[in-house]
Structure 1
């Protein structure tokens, strides 16, 4: 994919994976809109890369709409929507369960992606672009320590795969890093160190991100796990619906099309 002249919108772009993605894209000729609630750091990143900052609370659909509008008004369109904003939950489903923390995590990690896709998709479609959402390895495997986080990240993975199937003219993919060196793992660092769990450099996550940007696939989940190369996760095919005689519906449909072609 030729990136010179492209336009990218990055939510959660003030720090961590979002800021690193902005710093990787800008030197390649991409105009970047940094969207975040952290105005000080967000403006600093935008100034550093020659981009534009917009304050965006992804829990508010109108903020996502405004961020897309800024990309279009400032740079003429939108080619890459990187829906990256996310937080940890901060509670379990046990005695420390907190409804407000639960709602906030779901609003940022899941609703933020939904609102972002809703508002970015028409503009991305106009330019044959792509949408990338940040989920997590927690969306591909059990997360006993934070089941709510696992739930909303799994939902993002499912959302992206379903959207990709219904939007063949737009590439839609999901990035699934494990424990990367960002602020989100600050409460876990001590435990991770005790367990000997490696922390992934953000640069490695961005390498995986760029492989998605420059690739051709859609509906794919690229995972980034310590100690192995990043790659596309291979989902096992679930059992699909069958006809009354036990034939898979997809095969039955193909047979019907073949018969119709032969008859005509």
Structure 2
């Protein structure tokens, strides 16, 4: 089986995209640790796929470290980390702004990725491995419906692009998957609006296909968009003007294949 002998840790693995990735990888032979704050649902998913469960609030770096330690304890190592835990923002910067909720959302959507990468790297470097962060199309384009969600997902995109060349020397790939609207709890508040507007909603399986494509390609520092009616592929970022030396040479490393 394709991923036999591989160990995967998936945050936000109790439902939605995380659950879909957990089930797909387990079906292809991987040993999967489901990490989530929903212990009842998370344990049920883990039991169903022959994996294991760990309670994990990704806002706390110690809990990400504990999840990595549990993957090693339960299955002997770590090869794949899917940093998928996420939440919609649901407020803006006007009268509805709530600093406490803002910190919580940023803690899940951005800090959870930062803490997850930091916790997983020591184990992934031992035998090479893969990190995939769940970003969003909102991280690649303006998201007027939820600008703060777009802000934290854009930060994940920038983090992945910067980490790609840095971690390549250690045999670790890091990529992002950027779905459009998918049929998960995040869109529950406006799913009917999307459908009445004729906006196609992705199935979870369509999004999961992109995660498998990322794992199979061997690329790094890429941000794969997932959009209904189009094959998923890395987004080609516009070529920015700098920073460069006086002669015009780039100062920072880059991958021309990722630029449009």
Equivalent residue runs for 1:104-119 within 5 Å:
104-119=104-119
Query: Aligned to 2:13, what secondary structure does the other structure show?
Result: coil
Q: Deviations over 1:85-116 (max 9, x none)?
A: 00000111122111122111100000000000
Between the aligned partners of 2:244 and 2:107, the Cα distance in structure 1 is: 37
How far apart, CA to CA, are the structure 2 residues paired with 1:116 and 1:242?
32
Task: Please give the secondary structure, in 2, of the residue aligned with 1:53.
Answer: strand
What are the equivalent positions in structure 2 for 1:1-264 lying under 5 Å apart?
2-168=2-168, 169-244=171-246, 246-249=247-250
Q: Secondary structure at the match of 2:131?
A: strand
Kindly indicate whether the alpha-carbon contact (under 8 Å) linking 2:245 and 2:251 is maintained by their aligned counterparts in 1: no
The TM-score, its normalising length taken from structure 2, stands at 0.93
SS in 2 for 1:54: strand
Worse-superposed segment, 149-158 or 233-242: 233-242
1:257 aligned residue: none
Deviation at 1:194, TM superposition (A): 2.6
Q: Deviations over 1:62-107 (max 9, x none)?
A: 0000000000011110000000000000111122111122111100
Cα displacement (A) at 1:134: 0.2
Structure 1 CA distance for aligned equivalents of residues 159 and 234 of structure 2: 17
SS of 2:115's equivalent in the other structure is helix
Question: After superposition, what is the alpha-carbon deviation per residue over 1:193-218, rounded to whole angstroms, capped at 9, x for unaligned?
Answer: 23211110110001111001111100
Note if contact 1:139-1:150 (Cα within 8 Å) is conserved in structure 2. yes
Contact 2:181-2:201 within 8 A present in 1 as well? yes
Residues in 1 aligned to 2:200 and 2:73: alpha-carbon distance in whole angstroms: 42
Offset of residue 189 of structure 1: 1.0
Unaligned runs of 5+ in 2: 253-260
Structure 2: distance between partners of 1:249 and 1:86: 35
User: 1:250: how far off?
Assistant: 5.7
Asked whether the 8 Å contact 1:113–1:156 carries over to 2, the reply is: yes
Separation in 2 of the partners of 1:32 and 1:209? Answer: 15
Q: What is the CA distance between 1:249 and its match in structure 2?
A: 4.0
Structure 1 unaligned spans of 5+: 252-264
Structure 1 distance, partners of 2:184, 2:48, is: 19
Q: Equivalents in 2 of 1:183, 1:249: separation in Å?
A: 42
Find runs of 4+ consecutive structure 1 residues off by over 4 angstroms: none
Stretch deviating more after TM superposition (87-96 or 5-14): 87-96
